[in-house]
Structure 1
Amino acid sequence: MSVERPEWWYCLRHHRVEPREGCKNADRLGPYPSREDAENALAKVAERNEAWDNDPLWNDDLDEDDR
């Protein structure tokens, strides 16, 4: 018997954390394993975007000499 673990999403439309029964997935980020992780979804997105923006292997704005 498997135990279903709760999953949480961050709703981009309502700017709040939701359980499985919430808005459609196109309007939210997740699932996350905990409510706290979902609450920090936008911070994690910003952190990853910053890392990717500054990664020379993925930065299309850099010249070949800058890589």
Structure 2
Amino acid sequence: MNDSGRNGQYFWCTRHNRVETEADVCAARYTMGPYPSVAAAENALTQVRQRNEAWDAEDARWAGESK
């Protein structure tokens, strides 16, 4: 995949586990984005995991639990 997406619109497809552009993007229920670059789209699941871990830790801290 190259950086030829229209207006920098790249998506991570959870159905096909690949970066897609507006030209070949799957239905919204299968995609995450848009992202400004191929690299950002490729990193989508890592970013989601990191944010979820941070939010879980914050929830635990808020509830008075140690995590």
| TM score, norm. by length of structure 2 | 0.76
Q: Over the residues paired in the alignment, what is the CA RMSD in angstroms?
A: 2.0
Structure 2 unaligned residues grouped into runs of 5+ = 1-5
Percent identity of equivalent pairs: 41
Cα distance in structure 1, aligned partners of 2:16 and 2:33 = 14
Q: Give 1:1-67 correspondences, 5 Å limit.
A: 5-21=7-23, 22-55=25-58, 58-59=59-60, 62=63, 66=64
| TM score, norm. by length of structure 1 | 0.76
Structure 1 unaligned residues grouped into runs of 5+ = none
* Higher fraction of helix: 2
Deviation sequence 1:27-58 (CA, Å, 0-9, x none): 11000000100000000000000000000xx3
Moved over 4 A (4+): none
Cα distance in structure 1, aligned partners of 2:48 and 2:22 = 20
The structure that has the greater radius of gyration is 1
